[in-house]
Amino acid sequence: MTRISYDSRLDPQMREALAQQQAMAPDLGTAHTRSVVDIREVYERERAYWNEGGPAMASSLDITLDGPIGVLPIRIYEPVDYGVNATLMFMHGGGWMVGSTASHDRIARTLADHCKCKTVSVDYRLAPEFKFPVQFEECLAVLHALKAGEIDNCPGQRLLLAGDSAGANLALGIALWCRDRHPGLISALALFYGTFGLSDSGSRRLYGNGQDGMSRADLTYYRRSYLRSEADMDDPRYNMLDADLSDMPPAYIMAAELDPVKDDSLTLAAQYSELGISHELSVYDGMLHGFLHMSRICDKASHALQAGAKFLCRQGLR
């Protein structure tokens, strides 16, 4: 199988960020060959570097809820200029296997700062110890708590959803579930380089290697660690692209040019277009999957987060 060489096509800042990442964590891009404990330790340590700096919050509070299978941690951000009567619920990426509120702290702070609303980041349980649909059900439990007014000072009648990668999958799945049960509750979505159900595509065949941890072996490893069986690949809580997406909330859909899951975003945007649903598609040239973390170096990461927040404010808060 032919894989596209990235070297000549990488954005210069992406190349610089990738070099920095590989210097700190040279084995980060070989997930399928290492233990889960090792993957998580390296991931959290490397992400700590990228989380330095960024917007300050008026407050950042870690609390727990009673989740469907036990204590469920969340982090609540209040931006300095808080004043919007809505709550943004953020779901982190990491292939459902790694990641946390800590690893995605700067991304969540940046969205909270640009949206000027309370932001709740969900620290859902990870695969393979906890299989699908545990992650979905825990995120749904947070949404229910918000809707019921059980999370102090977080407005629950107008909700925005955002997520990156696996978190974008969870965000879109939650929105699809809510469409039929609580229409109008979700005002808008921001979906950053998500995976939405494709198992094969042109981008999967062209992109992904040991540099970015998105090789075909890695993607298969993440999926098999998350899902209980192949039958789950048809579940609309995982595979939204085979579901009826009519009457879904407006969505900002972002993709990275050199990302094996790029076609998931392009397909979702095409379906939104066919259905006449308001959306905005942005494809960032020269960027790899995961670049949102790298706003210390990559201007496009800051731009993408700001663009997503502007869409949420324009579509979801009017």
Tell me if residue 105 is catalytic: no
Tell me if residue 289 is catalytic: yes
- What Cα–Cα distance (Å) separates residue 153 from each residue in 54, 148, 164, 232, 234? 24, 12, 25, 37, 38
Q: Is the peptide bond before 26 cis (omega within 30 degrees of 0)?
A: no
- What Cα–Cα distance (Å) separates residue 229 from each residue in 78, 102, 132, 219, 226? 40, 30, 9, 15, 9
Q: At what angle do helices 105-115 and 36-51 cross, to 10 degrees?
A: 40
Q: Which of 103, 121, 165, 265 is catalytic?
A: 165
User: Among 145, 47, 35, which Cα is nearest to 104's?
Assistant: 47
* Displacement of CA 174 from its chain's centroid (Å): 13
User: What is the identity of the amino acid at 16?
Assistant: E
Say how far apart CA 125 and CA 73 lie, in whole Å: 9
Q: Which of 104, 114, 279, 289 is catalytic?
A: 289
Q: Which of 11, 105, 259, 264 is catalytic?
A: 259
Look up residue 118 and give its two tokens. 């309370």
Tell me if residue 165 is catalytic: yes
Say how far apart CA 218 and CA 57 lie, in whole Å: 35
Look up residue 123 and give its two tokens. 């620290």
Supply the residues annotated as catalytic. Answer: 165, 259, 289
